[in-house]
Amino acid sequence: MHKPTTTRAITMTLLAAGAMALVLAGCHKQLFPKDEPRSQYDRFDSVRDSRAPDRVEDAFGNQRANLRGRLLTGE
């Protein structure tokens, strides 16, 4: 008679613990901080004003990471 209530309580506790673990997993240090150089050539590019921007605006006006511009060479 008490078994469904106990099972429900255990299930709710596990779900709450899982949700909390997911929330806390997002609170990590940023992988590439803005004040750190992106590569060994980053200072060279920034001094010569040829550094690719971090973000670009797409056709819909959304800001996206500029992966292509940062990975392609400027030559």
Percentage of the chain exceeding pLDDT 90:
20
Summary mean pLDDT of the chain: 81
Work out the end-to-end distance of the chain between its first and last CA atoms, rounded to an integer number of angstroms: 75
Instruction: Say if strands 55-57 and 63-65 run parallel, antiparallel, or are unpaired.
Output: antiparallel
In tens, the pLDDT along 18-48 reads 888 877 776 667 777 777 777 778 788 878 8
Across the strands, what pairs with 65?
A: 55
**pLDDT of the residue at 11:** 92
